[in-house]
Amino acid sequence: MNAIVLEREVCAQNYAPMPIMLSHGEGVWLTDVAGVRRLDMMSGYSAVSLGHGHPRILKVLNEQAKRLAVTSRAFHAEPLGPFLAKLCAVAGQEMALPMNTGAEAVETAIKAARRWGHKVKGIPDGRARIIVADNNFHGRTTTIVGFSSEASYRDGFGPFAPGFDSVPFGDAAAAEAAITPDTAAILIEPIQGEAGIVVPPDGYLAALRALCDRHDVLLILDEIQSGLGRTGRWFAHQHEGVTPDGLIVGKALGGGVYPVSAFLSSRRVMQLFGPGSHGSTFGGNALAAAIGHEALRVIEEERLVERSAELGAYMRERLTAMTGGLASEVRGRGLWIGVEIAEGAGDASEIVARLADAGVLTKETHERTIRFAPPLTISREELDWGLERCESVFATRER
């Protein structure tokens, strides 16, 4: 039986993957079972920011797995402390709570905000509220989809947890107007990824920081996709020089081989977690800690943040020039760019399919936007190879 047919028979159809059966990956390249090699311009939604099979990550993976992998947090494991110390230093935060997936880290942030709101700010238990942004994407748990503005994410999954107020993304005045005495936190993505690499107006994050200070509200930023070099800074909020009260990281932290995430904050917030208040069987295991620590060192020592800034500016300029009337907007920061297809200029999914045929793998979102997010390890030559094929596809598009 064909492998794709078999997968459709036994796997729930919660995804609609392209009809390409991948066999192996190396660096920025993915090869299918027929031997066709294509350039990865998606990076697993930033999870593969270090490329496929980075030799340093694989070395640590193998060495640590042979020594010690999973014991649960019932015992101490040697790699965890050094990993979290490095992560806190990079993020400018005091403490971290390790988890596995991005959604788990977001759930951790929500719990931290609610407990801080009750224990510190004095909000009555069960009444804490969190302000979020329209068109957000923070994960797929029932709590998180409950405050999504995407109908398909919510359909049939209620009832949903109360306590969330959604306001327009990029509108600090709307966020301030939504604050009440029961507001514990504002939770946003500094750049909205799933919405189409939507960059807010300059000064937005600084304005949120100021209003959170005025109203004694926590500013929590979800940098699961935008963090760890993706936007040309370690974190997207650094473009505005703000420091959040809470930071959510994941994806690239696992080096492309293992799920690693964390919620970071100050000691005054983290000390509210005591034994039994939160946990995860796999969160912070020795293998995850060793991989996460090495991922941070690779990003730093290979200067991938700087490469993202330099090549990202170049890539955005090239895409802007070549898309012409095809795109209504080309936006993004670093190696994270969204090309929004103009009305009447074609369907984004059809263009994505033609790009795949030409040797470039990417993905559309919300029907009109094509996302480009190559591994941060990509070279100028490899990027040019991909951009030349993009240019060919855009030049021959059907009107």
Known catalytic residues? 137, 222, 251
Alpha helices in 39-137 (DSSP H): 55-67, 80-91, 102-119
Q: Which of 155, 157, 176 is nearest to 165 (CA)?
A: 176
d(CA 191, CA 197): 6
Answer for the pair 291, 298: CB distance below 8 angstroms, yes or no. no
State CA 62 to chain mean position distance: 26
d(CA 111, CA 205): 23
DSSP 335-390: S-EEEEEPTTS--HHHHHHHHHHHTEE-EEETTTEEEE---TT--HHHHHHHHHHH
Answer for the pair 284, 73: CB distance below 8 angstroms, yes or no. yes
Asked if omega into 55 is within 30° of 0 (cis), the reply is no
Q: In what order do the strands lie in the sheet with 22-26?
A: 22-26, 29-32, 37-40, 360-361
State CA 27 to chain mean position distance: 20
Maximum CA extent, the chain: 63
Asked if omega into 159 is within 30° of 0 (cis), the reply is yes
d(CA 239, CA 372): 20
Query: What does the DSSP 8-state code read for residue 8?
Result: H
Residue type, 369: T
Question: 360 - beta bridge partners?
Answer: 39
Question: 218 - beta bridge partners?
Answer: 185
d(CA 276, CA 54): 37
State CA 42 to chain mean position distance: 12
